[in-house]
A = this chain, B = another copy of it.
Amino acid sequence: MSAIPNVLAERYASKAIRDIWSAEGRIVLEREFWIAVMKAQKELGLDIPQEAIDAYESVKDQVNLTAIMERERVTRHDVKARIEEFCDLAGHQHIHKGMTSRDLTENVEQLQVYRSLLIQRDKTIASLAKMSQRAEQWHDLVITARTHNVAAQPTTFGKRIAMFGEELLGGLSALNHLIATYTVRGLKGAVGTQMDQISLFDGDAAKVADLEAKICAHLGIPEVFDNVGQVYPRSLDLRTVSILTDLASGPSSFSTTLRLMAGHETASEGFAKGQTGSSAMPHKMNSRSCERVNGFQTILTGYLTMATGLAGDQWNEGDVSCSVVRRVMLPDAFYACDGMFETFLTILNQMDAYPAVIEAENNHYLPFLMTTTIMMEAVKAGVGREAAHKAIKENAVATVNDLRAGSIKENDLLTRLAEDDRIPLSFEQLELLLDEGRKNAGSAYEQVKAFSKTVAAHTSAHPDAASYEPGSIL
């Protein structure tokens, strides 16, 4: 039987994130960790021959998963199987001294998490860079803003994009804080007291502290816990998965809105070159990628629920009721978040707006959106406020009803008002008001500028990240 692949990894995630979480990648990380521990132990006085260290280093990339699994079927202990395999390859028995399994696995898993967070940070910045470009591109393309999915007031397409971009900036802030404060478990032994390492160094706790500091330097993770049991606190995983879900929120709301716009044909996620929609219905440009972004957000909420099922449920110094959950939740949440960004970046590259359709929509709704302004002008021209309000409202409601009943096809509110004696404004005067309204999106452009400026601070700090381009998506 052929293996069943992880669909999130294989269909959606990028190579960078797959490499971190692949079985092979993880085993190499573990072996590097063991070697770092040996080197540090040797420096601190343990009798470990240099040739043994060299031997381990020379075979560390020889990963044979089948051989390891055969060992595990005998020992029923995954770490022991990997110890034996590595030792047999090297022809020595010097790794894992004074260590318990969790000294290895917790630290290596945290390294996987930490490196994955850095990748997501880079893709967040890449997304913001593209959102900023799109926001600038359409900063003055006036569209009909909608609340309750109904036309409300004018805004610009650029501002709409900046709005979702600013949501993503919030996620980035939380992510950056997590990265800056990410804390690794360290070498703490079976129950967190470092007893076995201290025994190994004949009671010299200072040497054990030194050893741990060297290992943390090897890992490159900013902080180390003082007090843990067998495991690091699972609320750290909750914080991690929560932030991945957070990162998906801005892109997901953006994608939902683009799906709505596609329904009105005011914009679309676009197509790859050469791609056509349905062969039967050539007009059909389905928002497949936007829908997929929404799907990833839903997936992440599920992994977040798993994380909340582990946090706060530690018994004593810990156990492995979290084991199978974390084997699934951690890589799969990163695959999903990474796939989300790959898809979102592709949308940002390919999306398009249709100004003619947008203008038609604006024209259809603008007379309604300008009624307050018209009323104020009527008042200036000498009509009583209540009288003007009554006249405008009657005409507006009649126009709506006629449009819905089909007795008129275009919004003729201006004509009606021009013909209504109660409103002392000519059609030309009313049209002038409308023309001004057509361009009035308030502070929209200044808001876009503010967004671009904030994004620029991030992109100039991480120029490589900012210029990242997504791989080809399915």
Contact = CB atoms under 8 A, between A and B. Distances in A.
B6 A22 contact: no
Given A356-B404, A451-B227, A260 B166 contact: no
Contacts of A73: 472, 474
Nearest to A287: B148
A33 interface: no
A265 to B, nearest CB: 6
Interface in A202-256: 205, 208, 225-230, 233-236, 238-239, 242, 245-246, 248-253, 256
Contacts of A403: 265, 356-357
Q: In the A-B complex, list the 5 residue pairs whose CB atoms are closest, starting with the nearest.
A: A356-B406, A252-B312, A193-B442, A235-B249, A302-B306
Interface residues of A, number: 180
A283 B396 contact: yes
A230 B237 CA distance: 33
Given A2-B22, A166-B227, A316-B145, A281 B371 contact: yes
B280 A371 contact: yes
Given A7-B327, A404-B265, A191 B153 contact: yes
A137 interface: no
B306 A322 contact: no
Given A1-B15, A152-B281, A242-B238, A312 B287 contact: no
Contacts of A199: 372-373
A446 interface: yes
A276 B373 CA distance: 20
Contacts of A448: 227
B2 A152 contact: no
Interface stretch (A110-118, A119-127, A290-298, A380-388): A290-298
Interface in A298-325: 298-306, 308-325
Given A4-B9, A312-B294, A355-B406, A192 B155 contact: yes
Given A166-B233, A227-B447, A332-B328, A195 B441 contact: yes
Contact of A163 (B7, B227, B331, B444): B227
Contact of A368 (B205, B281, B440): B281
B275 A76 contact: yes
Number of copies: 4
A62 to B, nearest CB: 14
A181 interface: yes
Interface string A1-18: 111111111111001001
Interface string A46-90: 000000000000000000010000001100101000000000000
Chain A interface main SS type: helix
Contacts of A369: 281
| A73, A252, A263, A302, most chain B CB atoms within 10 A | A302
Given A193-B145, A305-B301, A448-B227, A21 B1 contact: no
A103 to B, nearest CB: 13
Given A208-B443, A295-B324, A404-B354, A155 B1 contact: no
Most buried by B among A170, A405, A446: A170
Given A4-B18, A167-B235, A227-B451, 7 more contacts: A72-B474, A149-B287, A155-B192, A259-B315, A295-B321, A297-B311, A299-B328
A442 B316 contact: no
A76 B474 contact: yes
Contacts of A183: 170
A162 interface: yes
Contacts of A355: 406
Contact of A195 (B5, B153, B407): B153
